[in-house]
Amino acid sequence: MKKYVVLGGYGIIGRAVVNDLFRFSKNDEIIIAGRDKDKAMNFAKSFNSKRVKYQKIDITNERELINSLIGKDICINCVQYYFNLIIMKACIKARTNYVDLGGMFHMTRKQFELCKEFTTIGRCAILGMGGAPGLSNVLASYAGEKLKRVNSIEIVFADVDYTKYNQFFVLPYSFKTLIEEFTLKPAIFQDGKTKFVEPRSGLKEYNFGKEFGKQKGFLTLHSEIATLSNYFRKKGIRKCEFRVTFPDAFVEKVSLLITLGFSSNENIIFREKDVKVINATTKIMDKLVPKEGVRIKDKEIIRVILNGNKIVDAVTQSNGKISAGVLDTGIPCSIAAQGIVNEKLCKSGVFAPEDAINPVLFFKELKKRDIIIYENGRIIN
């Protein structure tokens, strides 16, 4: 029996990871872990299975974290990326494999510095193995292998939502992640060099076809730029960019919160305690994810465009309970973790998705989960 530890396994993405592990890794143990024991326990009990367990773990307590990872086959990190290095170093000491959802470019670069340590202990770490980054990287590597030269890569995702919500505002994922996509300077790879540009710059309209229509996207900070520029260097890459699309009304609301200072990292005094503004806002905003019982009906497309005309898409549809964007983030992470544990991805070291994942096998696994891959409009899985 293999043992998976899912840090933050009761969170938005963590739940999708655990659900997929439970469905496809049928004989293995899954440990839902995090600082909130009650949330971990309640989610674990919902499976009514002895192989789904829970554990309270304080990831800021090094000894506690290491002890919880010893004897486990892999740590799936679904907490905020600020803790990635702490968790990776604990995995090294516990001799445990590792996978995460990304490091917003800068953290990802730092994480690669631990490659020698993972190689020494004979363990594998895959960085940024969600939807974007993650699935997006594998789409790029698949399409790029067919081309003699890769001059440019554009990555963008879009959503279409038919859900009838009974709330004024719906948060698609972690508020802190969202705010960083709106406020941190995006990295772009241009003329063979990495540059940083103004937040929400580079507005561009994409035509995603009949169902998704035309949507406008702006540049945002993403880990793909840190790794794909190296992966395709020998093929002459000169440009790599990532854009995110949101409805205009959504952008206006988030922009207003930023303008009014609700995303500030400054401290304020509240009830005689120092409180960081962004933390207080996050506490409120994270309650605006879709409520349980709402029948979610949306689709998400992750698109990668190479050389302006080679297009590969991943299209995910919600399952009624979980949104498409959560599914296409959690499922790739689960697939990669299972691949590592079952020694289908047996290299040791620290890898980006494009270096570790076999696209054809990966796409077959995605098909089992109803995530469809298109190459220039033709289904390939």
Which has the higher per-residue pLDDT, 170 or 117? 117
204 and 318, same domain (yes or no):
yes
Averaged pLDDT for residues 22-38: 97
335 and 315, same domain (yes or no):
no
**The pLDDT value given to residue 72:** 98
**The pLDDT value given to residue 272:** 74
Q: Is residue 366 part of a domain?
A: no
If one counts every other C-beta atom within 10 angstroms of the C-beta of residue 238, the result is: 16
Q: Is residue 364 part of a domain?
A: no
Does residue 286 carry a pLDDT above 90?
no
237 and 349, same domain (yes or no):
no
Q: Give pLDDT tens digits for 235-275.
A: 999 999 999 999 999 999 999 999 999 999 888 777 777 88
Does residue 290 carry a pLDDT above 90?
no
CATH number of the domain bearing residue 52: 3.40.50.720
335 and 310, same domain (yes or no):
no
Q: Is residue 36 part of a domain?
A: yes
Place of tokens 């516990």: 94
199 and 332, same domain (yes or no):
no
Q: Is residue 290 part of a domain?
A: yes
CATH number of the domain bearing residue 286: 3.30.360.10
Reported pTM: 0.95
Which has the higher per-residue pLDDT, 172 or 87? 87
**The pLDDT value given to residue 115:** 98
DSSP string, 130-151: BTTTBHHHHHHHHHHTT-S---
Class of residue 277 by CB neighbours under 10 A (exposed 0-12, middle 13-18, buried 19+): middle
Q: Is residue 244 part of a domain?
A: yes
118 and 216, same domain (yes or no):
no
For residue 198, give its domain range. Answer: 135-324
Averaged pLDDT for residues 41-68: 97
115 and 179, same domain (yes or no):
no
Averaged pLDDT for residues 286-311: 92
**The pLDDT value given to residue 293:** 78
Domain count, the chain: 2
Does residue 25 carry a pLDDT above 80?
yes
320 and 336, same domain (yes or no):
no
Amino acid at site 244: V
Average the pLDDT over each of 109-118, 280-289, 301-310 and give the range with the smallest value: 280-289
Assess contact for 222 and 294: CB atoms under 8 A.
no
Q: Is residue 376 part of a domain?
A: no
312 and 177, same domain (yes or no):
yes
295 contacts: CB under 8 Å, gap ≥ 6:
163, 320, 321
Q: Give pLDDT tens digits for 187-214.
A: 999 999 999 999 999 999 999 999 999 9
90 and 154, same domain (yes or no):
no
Q: Is residue 380 part of a domain?
A: no
Q: How far apart are CA 5 and CA 23, in angstroms?
A: 16
Round the average pLDDT of the chain to a whole number and report it: 96
179 and 218, same domain (yes or no):
yes
345 and 279, same domain (yes or no):
no
Q: Is residue 198 part of a domain?
A: yes
Torsion of CA 74, 78, 81, 83, to 10 degrees: -60
Does residue 165 carry a pLDDT above 90?
no
Averaged pLDDT for residues 23-31: 97
Average the pLDDT over each of 138-147, 235-244, 272-281 and give the range with the smallest value: 272-281
Does residue 292 carry a pLDDT above 80?
no
Averaged pLDDT for residues 9-26: 97
Assess contact for 361 and 45: CB atoms under 8 A.
no
